[in-house]
Structure 1
Amino acid sequence: MTVQQFDYRDGDTLLQAGIAFPAGEEKAPAVLIVHQWAGRGEGEHKTAERLAELGYVGIAIDMFGKDVKGDPSGDNSHLIGPFLSDRAALLQRVRAAVTFAATLDRVDATRIAAIGYCFGGLCVLDLARGGADGVRGVVSLHGMLDGHGLEQDGAIAAKVLVEHGWRDPMAAPDKVLAFAEEMGARDADWQLHAHGRAMHAFTNPHAAAPEKGMAYDADADRRSWESVTAFLAELL
């Protein structure tokens, strides 16, 4: 496995991806990893490496801009706020990463998927909602589920997997139901796995604020990863 940093762009914005390549020289399917609200960091890079060990090109993408990082233990609303208020810009930023991934020599551009954590979960779901050009499927892990309101209809082509903590205050049961209705209305091939005791950020070992609805859950973390890898194996 080799790990490298690559610059790419969304219009005038310079971005940077951390990429883990599997052993060998042949083309391989790629999985984009979209970060949580603090920006691309150690967790996303470790996920890229885990994916490379499974034979995928793991690409930890960048939503905020090269060298723009938030506070992992603080409030990063100022970083995600502009994207939550302009979902078209959010979709464009994620699509720029897909376009970039398809240009890489080691990537089989016909086999690309995207997974996202927290804010990143919302990003990959919007990618599916927006037509998912170039992406076969997406996975949201403890992501926000709110629709984007971009007046898009028709069937969702990308397959969708959601790994959800049932006690997540950012995706309460009414939002889960609304999401299910949205997916059904657009004839998506979708799955939602609810982890009954899990809260928001259940895959993050540093999450320890149950009073705010955020806590690591080792069982949900393990089970969700098994689900993700099975989904990717079927998809790619």
Structure 2
Amino acid sequence: MSKIETGYADYTHAGTTFEAYVAHTGGTHRRPVVLVAHQWAGQCPHECERADLLAEAGYVGIAIDTYGKGVRGTVGQDNSALMSPLMADRALLRDRLLAAVEFAKSHPLADPSRIAFTGFCFGGLCALDVARSGTKDVAGVVSFHGVYPPPNLGPQGPIHAQVQVHHGWEDPLAPPQDVLGLAKELTDAGARWQLNAYGDTVHAFTAKGMNNREGGAQYNEIADRRSWQATLLFLEEIFA
């Protein structure tokens, strides 16, 4: 296995500087890029570890930043003060996400024609919003235990990115009616989409150490493993 090279790189949007964590195995050949959007605490070790795993799989893995360089919350605490402004301004969120895509395309090891976008919790919504933007720069998106409210930025245009959704069926933040609403939204937008739902599974099922079942958030090793395996297969397909 090749050694993973990691580091941080800045990018900007509308006067704000953001900090990306970048992982790859070096060399000079261009390869697909997979972005990883963070949960509500901001970029943390979980997203960076996923970027490392993506690098091991042969991609450039980039854990992005939607809050701004140095702006981070606390894992396991209430970080709504950071997330809520972007939830209230989905156009700004979309533009920040697309700025991260542009940064990824510019990486010297990137094949700019093969970009994917993934995300966890709040980042799962971010992945879906990238698809909703209608961009043709992203081949596919993957949402892990995300939330599904549409951005309500006007009529939804065609969705060009393929979509894979991993959902804990008992997630209190995304009840069944929300899942059905997302399915209708994606279908109406002409998206090629896939939903993997995991029984006896709540929110944050990929977050190791999370153990708050009563609060609706708990790690689930089986759902974590199966969703990641399905993601790797999805990436292989969209980049073939």
Band the TM-score falls in, shorter-chain normalisation: over 0.9
Selected match of 1:141 from 134, 139, 144: 144
Aligned to 2:117: 114
Q: Distance in 2 between matches of 1:3 and 1:10?
A: 23
Select the residue among 2, 5, 10 that pairs with 2:5.
Answer: 2
Structure 1 residue 146 displacement after superposition? 1.0
Deviation for aligned residue 1:23: 3.8
Write out aligned runs for 1:147-162 (5 A): 147-162=150-165
- In 1, distance between residues paired with 2:215 and 2:156? 35
Give aligned-pair identity as a percent. Answer: 46
Query: 2: distance between equivalents of 1:54 and 1:123?
Result: 23
Q: Which residue of 1 aligns with 2:14?
A: 11
Of 226, 230, 237, the match for 1:234: 237
| Number of positions where the alignment pairs a residue of Structure 1 with one of Structure 2 | 236
Q: Tell me the distance in 2 between the aligned counterparts of 1:141 and 1:102.
A: 23
Answer yes or no: is 1:80 the counterpart of 2:105: no
Task: State the alpha-carbon separation in 2 of the partners of residues 231 and 186 from structure 1.
Answer: 20
Equivalent residue runs for 1:57-206 within 5 Å: 57-206=60-209
User: Is the contact between residue 128 and residue 160 of structure 1 (CA under 8 Å) also seen in structure 2?
Assistant: yes
**Aligned to 2:40, which of 28, 37, 40?**
37
2: CA distance, partners of 1:9 / 1:108: 21
CA deviation after TM superposition for structure 1 residue 163, in Å:
0.3
- Unpaired stretches in structure 2, ≥5 consecutive residues: none
Distance 1:66 1:156 in 2: 30
**Letter matched to residue 119 of structure 1:** F
TM-score (norm 1): 0.98
Cα deviations across residues 143-168 of structure 1 (Å, max 9, x unaligned)?
01111111133321000000000010
3-state SS, counterpart of residue 173 of structure 2: helix
8 Å CA contact 1:7–1:14 kept in 2: the answer is yes
Deviation at 1:127, TM superposition (A): 0.7
Structure 2 CA distance for aligned equivalents of residues 154 and 214 of structure 1 = 33
Aligned twin of 2:53: 50
**How far 1:24 moved relative to its partner?**
2.4
1:25 matched to 2:23:
no
For 1:173, give the aligned amino acid. P
In 2, Cα distance between the equivalents of 1:132 and 1:70? Answer: 29
The CA distance in 2 between the partners of 1:196 and 1:235, in whole Å, is: 27
AA of the residue aligned to 1:151: G
Q: Under a length normalisation based on structure 2, what TM-score does the superposition of the two structures give?
A: 0.97
Cα distance, 1:210 vs structure 2: 0.6
Unaligned runs of 5+ in 1: none
Alignment match of 1:225 (pick from 218, 225, 228): 228
Q: Which runs of 4+ in 1 moved over 6 A?
A: none
Does the residue aligned with 1:125 lie in a helix, a strand or coil? Answer: helix
Deviation string 1:79-126 (CA, Å, 9 cap, x unpaired) is 110011110011001000001111111000000000000000001101
Alignment partner of 2:196: what SS? strand
